[in-house]
Amino acid sequence: LRSSEAQAATMLEVLEEGVMLVDLSGRPVQANAAAHRITGLTDLREFPNVFDPAWKLMDPAGFPLPTGAYPAVQALRTGVTVRDTQVLFTRPDGEWIIASLNAIPLLEGGQQAGAVVSFTDVTASYLLQRQLEAQALHDPLTGLPNRRQVTTLLKQLCGERPPPPTAVMILTLHNFPNLLDRIGRQGADRLIQLVAQRLEDAVSDRGVAAHLTEHEFLLLLTRPGPPEPAGPELLSGPESLVGPESPGETDRSDDPAGQWAAQLLDRLNGTFDLDGQAVHVTFRLGYALHPEDGRTPAELLRHADLALKHTGHSPAARRFEPVMAADVERRLRLEECLQRAVATGTLSVHYQPVMAVPQREIRSLEALLRWQDPVLGTVSPAEFIPVAESSGLINDLGTFVLREALCQAVRWNARRRAPLSVNVNVSVTQFSSGTFPDVVRDALHRTGADPRWLTLEVTEAVAAQDLPSVTRQLHALKALGARIALDDFGTGYSSLALLSQLPIDFLKLDRLLVQGVHLDPRRQVLLRSVVHLGLELGFVVVAEGVELPEELSFVQACGCAHVQGFLLARPQSPQQLNLNAPHH
Ligand code: C2E
Ligand code: CA
Ligand code: CA
């Protein structure tokens, strides 16, 4: 027996785990080496009785535990085993550890005789766990709560009864990609940190500011009160809440949350000092009020986002309005109908002649999509092309127009000495996969059209895409034998650099440059210069949207060789155009 006791004692001594034996009165009677090491108590006599508050055990968050909650006390009092309880223990040297404790009642002859308390130091893994949790809920760059945490918070708010009036605001840094180009990643990080600080100050104890994506923040304000009359401070008292207290209020423009948001933007829009470099930035903000503008977190976020989109490009704050959701609805309906139209072939292509002046001979025909929907009526391409672009339908649509137009060219040119070419509009998104030249090659092959009969019209928007990729594709199209027109020139950025970069044959001047030009001497200078520039660069210059004889004479005098517009011909169906007549 004695030898087995000795063996047990040896085993205890080599254990990594601290083990302490207490008798029925809670007095420690034995402790192994690990117990001394972990607690920092060198002598058995230093171990207090387990009922003694001198242990000063706390829960891991640092709240003192009553002795009744000590695991050993529980095991002694109730006779049940307590497992894996984490406590904070302060060692005699002042250092604290997190220990994981087990307390097992000791029985002798069926009678409770004491308890065995075993424990390990889990401080490192505890801290790591906390750090991981904090990282999961906080954005490491700004230290602000992240999307996950703030949506949890919003869920809680929406679940409260009665719901506390809350404003959900999405704030975004305008034109971030451009800014990033200018100040670089490091500068942008620093800027985001500064913005985060200002937001935290502004929101203070009225709510939280969270960091959503790199240039987007979410503010949850539980008490959007009126602005402070004096001083620049944004904070205000608890009075004048927005919410169910004022259900009859319909004035949406001038709610306290809106005033608060406007003030916030006033403070944010302007110059930030990035370690000596002055950077001018503007912000936009969209918000929705709970519960008037939405009742669920998802709805509130969606509506705030919609309001944000409706700020356009102005550095302003906007509240959600139901009509914004209606816009989205119409878009969705449009998308649905368009999908059907593509599938059932209720789209057609009309052609508008591009004439050489002064002979007034048709040189080419621009293919323009027409959609007559049984439900929606006539829908303008200006409305459905953007929908097709954002929904991805534009690729199918583009391929359809391309084949249709090439087929038409084959028909027109069958018995013609001087061939007509067709102009097909190409949307930037059709370049995004990088395989557009293959699509064109395939369409040429299927229709048997001569590549020289095809001109592809692109706009300056291609510059916003991956320009090297677009340029490469345009060169590939030229290599096939097709020609390229730069469309709508004079409306967007009118980038001169782009003119020298892209392999352009035609420069099409937008009708905004052309219309009414005969009445305005300054625009005459502008138009004349642009035409000369185009000619100098070796392009054929085409004036679009010519409606009046005065406009025609002016553009002709400037040197435009080609003209397109209602004055000469409207877009028409192939039947109306009747170009197959034998005299051509
Ligand atoms: P766009 O490429 O600038 O096409 C010229 C637009 O100007 C056409 O409008 C045409 O009907 C209109 N137009 C022509 N002459 C005159 C004129 O003298 N006065 C006025 N006020 N307007 C004139 P439409 O057909 O409504 O097309 C609008 C836009 O939709 C087109 O502008 C083009 O960007 C886009 N689009 C049309 N078809 C297609 C297509 O098949 N693919 C792509 N990606 N876009 C297309
Ligand atoms: Ca065009
Ligand atoms: Ca155009």
Domain containing 8 — which CATH number? Answer: 3.30.450.20
Joined together, the tokens standing for residue 126 give: 């505890």
**E strands along 36-161, which residues?**
82-90, 96-108, 111-121
Mean pLDDT of all residues in the chain?
88
Ligand 1 atom closest to residue 394's alpha carbon, by position in its atom list: 44
Residues 117 and 164 in one domain: no
Q: Are 79 and 222 within one domain?
A: no
What's the gap in Å between 508 CA and the centre of ligand 2?
Answer: 8
- Tell me: do 284 and 365 sit in the same domain: no
Q: Is 579 within a domain?
A: no
For residues 143 and 208, give the distance between their C-alpha atoms in angstroms, rounded to a whole number.
Answer: 12
Asked whether residue 584 is domain-assigned, the answer is no
The residue out of 257, 291, 320 marking a domain boundary is 320
- Position 243 scores a pLDDT of 37
Whether residue 133 is contained in a domain is answered as no
CA of 566 from ligand 1 middle (Å) equals 12
CATH (domain of 148): 3.30.70.270
Question: What is the rounded distance in angstroms from the CA atom of residue 13 to the CA atom of residue 21?
Answer: 13
Judge whether 135 lies within some domain: no
Residue 234 near residue 228, CB atoms below 8 Å: yes
Compute, in angstroms, the gap from residue 376 CA to the centroid of ligand 2: 24
Q: Is the pLDDT of residue 190 over 50?
A: yes
* One domain for residues 256 and 290: yes
Q: Are residues 24 and 112 in the same domain?
A: yes
Residue 429 CA to residue 397 CA, distance in Å, equals 12
Whole-number pLDDT of residue 375:
81
Reported as a pLDDT band with limits 50, 70 and 90, residue 254 is low
Q: Provide residues with CB under 6 Å of ligand 1.
A: 352, 367-369, 380-382, 385, 398, 401, 425-427, 487-488, 511, 545-547, 564-566, 571
Task: Specify whether 438 is located in the same domain as 528.
Answer: yes
CB 458 within 8 A of CB 484: yes
187 domain residue, yes or no: yes
Residue 560 has φ and ψ, to the nearest 5°, of -70, 125
Statement to judge: residues 42 and 171 lie in one domain? no
Residue with the nearest Cα to atom 3 of ligand 1?
488
- pLDDT tens digits, one per residue of 415-462: 888 899 999 999 988 998 899 999 999 999 999 999 999 999 999 888
Percent of the chain whose predicted confidence (pLDDT) is above 90: 61
Containing structural domain, residue 218: 140-320
Q: Looking at the domain assignment, is residue 572 inside a domain?
A: no
Residues 250 and 112 in one domain: no
Contact residues for 1 (Cβ-Cβ < 8 A; gap 6+)? none
Boundary-marking domain end, from 279, 298, 320 = 320
Supply the pTM of this predicted model: 0.59
One domain, residues 121 and 185? no
Residue 56 structure tokens: 């000063």
Residues 102 and 169 in one domain: no
Looking at the domain assignment, is residue 104 inside a domain? yes
What CATH number does the domain containing 434 carry? Answer: 3.20.20.450
Same domain, 282 and 151: yes
| CA-proximal residue: ligand 1, atom 8 (nearest) | 368
What does the DSSP assignment read for 260-275? Answer: HHHHHHHHHSEEEEET
Poorest-pLDDT segment among 83-87, 286-290, 325-329: 325-329
Output the CA 377–ligand 1 centroid distance in Å. Answer: 18
Å from CA of 352 to ligand 2 middle: 10
Mean pLDDT of 88-93: 94
- Domain final residue, candidates 59, 94, 127: 127
- Residue 175's pLDDT band (boundaries 50, 70, 90)? confident
Is the per-residue pLDDT at 249 higher than 60?
no
In a domain, 571, yes or no: no
The domain total for the chain is 3
Note whether 288 and 367 are same-domain residues: no
Mean pLDDT comparison of 121-125, 164-168, 420-424, 575-579, highest-scoring range: 420-424
